[in-house]
Amino acid sequence: MVGGGILPFVTQLAGIFGPVAVITDSQIGPLYARSFRTVGSVDTVIEVPAGGQHKTLDTVEGVYAQLLEAGFDRSGTIVALGGAVISELAGFVAATYMRGVDCVQCPTSLLSMVDTSIGGKAGVDLPEGQNLIGAFKQPKAVIADVATLQSLPAREFASGMAEVIKHSLIADSDLLDQIEKGHWKHEITAPLPSLADLQALVAQAIQVKVHIVQEDPFDEGPRQVLNLGHTFAHAIEQVSGNSVRHGEAVAMGLVAAATLSARLGLCPPALPDRVESVVADAGLPVRIPPTVDPSHLMEAMGRDKKKTAGKIRFVLLREIGEVFVTDNVEEADVLGTVKDLSG
């Protein structure tokens, strides 16, 4: 469900009966957790430290301990209140605590609304890489209140736009046209569009992912196209020491995927320029930072969890709305693409 001003009514909208534990972080909790206590029936609020560096098994263990101390049992529902990190971490807790309890996703960032809260993927990171420990946990409901987007810093909103752009490249040229015609760059001098426009954008982007996930709920085939740009992105995040945010890395990854596709003669030569333009117009980076060494980036991609039989898998483009998965890419072409986009 997508709407404006609906967050306080999550327990009613999701049809939750029984104990409720809200898992949030130290930034989002103070902003929104009180509204749950005022209007909804919430028994426990657990705040974890904000930031992707805390999406770990140690944090999960601490959440387990607080749930047990509160007497939270299998009749309860976990509400994930926050951005992408909370969406994945709380989903993992819900999938594993007492062998599984119900979960409701309440994303408060654009990235989590259109991506991480949809599809049931949950997980935590290891020092060796992202989401190497995980599970599938389909939420009982997803309640996206676009009013929360108005409090997002510009950098966070832009990060979410990377996933919206990704969805448009995968399956919705109309959505791409809408992005190109609108003004989605969050600036002090140019406030965000109206709640109605945000609601329409979020709902359309969500539908792209929902349609794909329904075909392939456990990521065994067609769903892998949702990794467009992510082979590059995860490596950029890792090599940068997470100084590059996920959405920013995805933006660079989208440009890299389009550039690699053109380099291999798979798509029209003008396509990378169009992708780069829409990414830049959203206030996102299009070049890999000079601090990210190309050789280290190649090593990180070699550890990607999507690798099969020793080969790195990429999602490439033939045209807007026409993408495919392949491992038939020479390392020299990947390295050449990375070098072309570095600096």
- Give the Cα separation of 212 and 226 in Å (integer): 8
- The residue among 192 and 328 whose pLDDT is bigger is 328
Look-up of token digits 């971490």: 89
Range of the domain at 87: 2-151
- The residue among 191 and 134 whose pLDDT is bigger is 134
What is the pTM assigned to this prediction? 0.90
Look-up of token digits 């109309």: 174
- Give the Cα separation of 219 and 221 in Å (integer): 6
Q: How far is CA 274 from CA 76, 127, 317, in A?
A: 47, 36, 13
Looking at residue 151, its pLDDT comes to: 83
The average pLDDT across 53-67 equals: 97
Q: Looking at the DSSP assignment, which residues form a beta bridge with residue 324?
A: 316
Looking at residue 65, its pLDDT comes to: 98
User: Do the beta carbons of residue 328 and residue 319 sit within 8 Å?
Assistant: no
pLDDT band at 301 (very low <50, low <70, confident <90, very high): very high
Of 248, 238, 244, 232, nearest to 333 (Cα)?
232
- The arrangement of strands across the sheet holding 141-142 comes to 44-48, 20-25, 77-82, 102-107, 141-142
Q: Strand locations in the chain, DSSP E? A: 2-3, 20-25, 44-48, 77-82, 102-107, 121-126, 129-136, 141-142, 144-145, 314-319, 322-326
For residue 125, give the DSSP letter: E
pLDDT for residue 40 is more than 80: no
**Whether 250 and 185 share a structural domain:** yes
The average pLDDT across 247-274 equals: 98
3-state secondary structure of 221: coil
pLDDT for residue 192 is more than 80: no
**Whether 127 and 66 share a structural domain:** yes
The average pLDDT across 216-243 equals: 92
Query: Can you give the CATH number for the domain in which 218 is found?
Result: 1.20.1090.10
Number of domains in the chain: 2
pLDDT for residue 305 is more than 80: no
Domain-ending residue, one of 151, 173, 205 = 151
Domain-ending residue, one of 121, 151, 181 = 151
Structure tokens at 334: 């990947």
**Whether 161 and 135 share a structural domain:** no
User: Do the beta carbons of residue 91 and residue 137 sit within 8 Å?
Assistant: yes
**Whether 38 and 185 share a structural domain:** no
